[in-house]
Amino acid sequence: MNALALNAGSSSLKFALFDTAPEPMVSGDIDWADGNRQRAQLTLLANGKTSRSQVQVPDESIAAARAIESVLEAAGIGADGIAVVGHRLVHGGAEFRESMRIDQKVKMALAKLSRLAPLHNPPALKVVETVEAVLPGVPQVAVFDTAFYAQLPPKVFMFPLPYEWHRDWGIRRYGFHGLSHAYCASRAAELLGRPLASLRLISCHLGGGCSATAVRDGVAAATTMGFSPLDGLMMGTRCGSIDPGIILHAQRECGLTAEQIDHALNHRSGLLGISGVSPDLARIEEAAAAGNERARLAFEMFADRVRGAIGALAAGLGGVDALVFTDRIGENSPALRAAACQGLEFMGLRLDAERNRAALPDTDVAAPDSPARIVVVHTREEWMVAREARRVVGCARPRAQRAPNAG
């Protein structure tokens, strides 16, 4: 029962084709991390070989069509060789607390949630519509990042705002990157040879979007992202947490409209906004090494915020048994891992410099005498999506549920 997983992110489209095994038959991504969709990179891994080429993908619909075409060709199958397509959906709101087979009603509900995840839900819906055209009749399943956080207690998911805002408008902490954090927590436990239920973990998903999550006994206990994927850590083009008074000031004193502020916070802030170079940390590191002071500042700000989030989450857990780094930056930037861990020795997190420089996922990069471990894990959101999609089409469709009110 071949399952195709499609993961539309803010700066890439990842894809993978699975049979019943966790290793994909074909996988790859179309990446425009530098913001140039006319020169995106298509990476394809099939039959043990990796190929790379440049493609033009002006929007997610074209990217999805190109990805599906590449998968079918590499796997040597036709459209009838795909039994189900699973999609990573970033925001499920209060309506969707578990995976859901996609129909017109679900699509309409997801479209309404797009205002809460403008960089993610709209692209994902475009990909859904492309699949309908390219693979007609193939069932599609939405797998939600927010589901991992459905059991957060009220003291964690509530904001200190008028209570009516939560009761009447559903304003609460939803949390994101749940699929990645759930997988990485489980994988970290495997690497350490310890039961997941016995561990206090902090997982740092650092890519185009960034978040950190505390996991206790295999369950999410806290996370940096909140009502929308704009909250929390500094990101590629997103600001992360800022003083809300800045927004009021920008409206009242600087004359910016809500739309202008929305665009600035989502598209012109973060690493790009500070460095002026790129939203891609790899390019920022290169520019900083060449003497670009704004690039150096962007790197230092980013590392500082990751370090601060680790400390805050560790305090909530009462300590940490393992720290996990994952996704594009977390997996590929030894410099960022070193900077983020600097000064955390008092928490028992001691990085081994040589192991860190040479690390490939999945690896423990902590010093031998470190009381807590530091692991680099290759996130596998696509496998999580494919597994869920296969489960949903193989059983009765779950009903949408509303999150319970705090009180």
Active site residues: 145
3-state DSSP assignment of residue 4: strand
CA gap 86, 8 in Å, rounded: 11
Cβ atoms of 398 and 392 closer than 8 Å: yes
| Angle of CA points 139, 143, 148, to nearest 5° | 160
Helices (H) and strands (E) in the chain, counts: 15, 14
What residue has token string 């809300």? 244
Strands (E), 188-261: 200-206, 210-216, 219-223
Query: What are the C-alpha distances in Å from 124 to residues 60, 140, 274?
Result: 8, 12, 28
Classified as helix, coil or strand, 284 is helix
Helical packing angle, 121-134 and 60-75, nearest 10°: 50
Q: Give residue 149's identity as a one-letter amino acid code.
A: Y
Q: List the structure tokens of 122.
A: 């709209």
- The DSSP 8-state label assigned to residue 247 in this structure reads H
Q: How far apart are CA 187 and CA 181, in angstroms?
A: 10
